[in-house]
Structure 1
């Protein structure tokens, strides 16, 4: 009879998903040699060669890929059994690992941690600032329980199988210009085509925000934008608008209430919007994760009432003659 350790099967699944022993080690906090040793033990347990050399690394053999497929089923079943037992006992305890982009972490995840501490003190919550692309391997493998991501009009995210996507909040995306910009004066919407010679700031390459900025300038404005600055931090993006004269497309949650150094305008002839989406694994959800998700969902309902008004350019205070 073959006996297989679920922890070693998880390592095999991690290797299938992440591709290298180094990536598995980094994700789990092990050394690459420890991961290699545990997989060697798994090979002895099943009596088959699971890994083979591939250049300077390793790859799964046919037997390794077959076992990884079964490992996925076994690990999912074990996770479901744990969730069902916890639900049967009525216990809300355990660890919740959640991630999200900056604005979601600030407005939803941090307040959710405070609520969970008060309402479910036996639940440990761990929060990370993550883009969906970073979080997908962990979501699939169970290292991350849920992620709050975003989805922009005209630039939908992929929807990998085995994951659940639920919309939490919808908000407008608008142009942010330095107050001294020629198009920042009083007036209506601004055409993207009028900004073809401007310097842009966007999130890092590969993120949904970067794809939205570049794709919109290409499809609506008819040009390749000069995205000279990159930051996933909305405050840094706003700082570059104020100090460096860059232009940006930002969602409402990233805006300050009032900022005399910037002007906010709609995009002419186009509706821009963003949805905050919570992503989790399909299947039974442990009570602690379900409780955290319920809190996040409740907080999202209040975003419309608590979001800052659209920032406007306001003249600075007049100086009083004579000083003092």
Structure 2
């Protein structure tokens, strides 16, 4: 019989690439991970790892076993969900991950609703960049995550993660509002929003930190327009980004949730680029009553946030 905990280690080795990385993810020593993988190989009765220099690679049998491991781990999540549904009431810790611009916009009303309807839940929020969400879900550091990508920088589907669509947002080019129209991106008479990025070829850019999804998107948008962005500043908070734009420090990309209250000295040019937000959770966990409650609360809070203001 194959040990599920060892299967999880093999799955993570396929994902992370090194035994040292797996050890860090599970707070084990590298020696302990190696011993567990060796025991799994004995259980399997076939070679699973090949030593290549100081590292290891998976054999074809191990790669096939990883695919089965994903299915097995998802089935265990589903079984846990079934048992949880048989209990009365919702309780326990719920770890929710969110990207920065969702925390002050979509999340507060959802947290209020969850706390009101399920007071025994212990709600804990962690702000993360989307690139870190899948690993945090897989490792159990998160139970639910607000996770996004962009149509110009789509994220590959993760076999260990399921999700439901929540929101599509338009992305804007944020530019200083001063100056004559002919000098402003997208502001030429008869100009199209599609021309806006090309007109920033010689502008200074404000982008996210290297390695973040926002940084990748800014680079790709400029590359699609035929140039490399001249980066002057790195900032990950859209309030800070817009303040820098207002101070004449450069131009930037800002999605709708990050541009709810732009400074008066900033003009927002709509682009044909969209950010796509999903509610993500471990594969198989969608039927868990806590996950279902979080999904329902986030969907409701998003509808309320997007609803037009009531007429007085």
Residue 209 of structure 1: aligned partner: 214
Residue 42 of structure 1: aligned partner: 40
Consecutive unaligned residues of structure 2, counting only runs of 5 or more, are: 189-195
Residue 191 of structure 2: aligned partner: none
For 1:152 and 1:51, the matched residues in 2 are separated by 36
Q: State the shift of 1:287 in Å.
A: 1.1
For 1:234 and 1:69, the matched residues in 2 are separated by 39
For 2:168 and 2:110, the matched residues in 1 are separated by 19
Q: What is the aligned counterpart of 2:261 among 249, 252, 257?
A: 257
1:1-324 matches, cutoff 5 A: 3-139=1-137, 144-160=142-158, 163-180=161-178, 189=187, 191-205=196-210, 207-219=212-224, 221-243=225-247, 245-255=249-259, 257=261, 259-260=263-264, 262-267=265-270, 270-283=271-284, 284-305=286-307
For 1:229 and 1:109, the matched residues in 2 are separated by 28
For 1:150 and 1:164, the matched residues in 2 are separated by 13
Q: State the shift of 1:249 in Å.
A: 1.7
Consecutive unaligned residues of structure 1, counting only runs of 5 or more, are: 308-324
- SS in structure 1 at match of 2:86: helix
Residue 312 of structure 1: aligned partner: none
Q: State the shift of 1:206 in Å.
A: 5.1
Residue 318 of structure 1: aligned partner: none
Normalised to the residue count of structure 1, the TM-score between the two structures is: 0.76
- 8 Å contact kept, 2:85–2:289: yes
- SS in structure 2 at match of 1:4: coil
Q: State the shift of 1:104 in Å.
A: 1.6
Q: Deviations over 1:115-135 (max 9, x none)?
A: 433322333444332333322
Report which stretch shifted further, 77-86 or 236-245: 236-245
Distance change >3 Å, CA 154–CA 24, structure 1 → 2: closer
Distance change >3 Å, CA 53–CA 125, structure 1 → 2: farther
For 2:47 and 2:89, the matched residues in 1 are separated by 41
Distance change >3 Å, CA 75–CA 156, structure 1 → 2: closer
- 8 Å contact kept, 2:242–2:266: no
Q: State the shift of 1:294 in Å.
A: 1.1
For 1:47 and 1:278, the matched residues in 2 are separated by 40
Normalised to the residue count of structure 2, the TM-score between the two structures is: 0.79
Distance change >3 Å, CA 173–CA 67, structure 1 → 2: closer
- 8 Å contact kept, 1:174–1:264: no
- SS in structure 2 at match of 1:266: strand
Paired positions, count: 301
- Bigger Rg, which one: 1
Q: State the shift of 1:304 in Å.
A: 1.8
For 1:155 and 1:288, the matched residues in 2 are separated by 31
The CA RMSD measured in Å over matched residues stands at 3.4
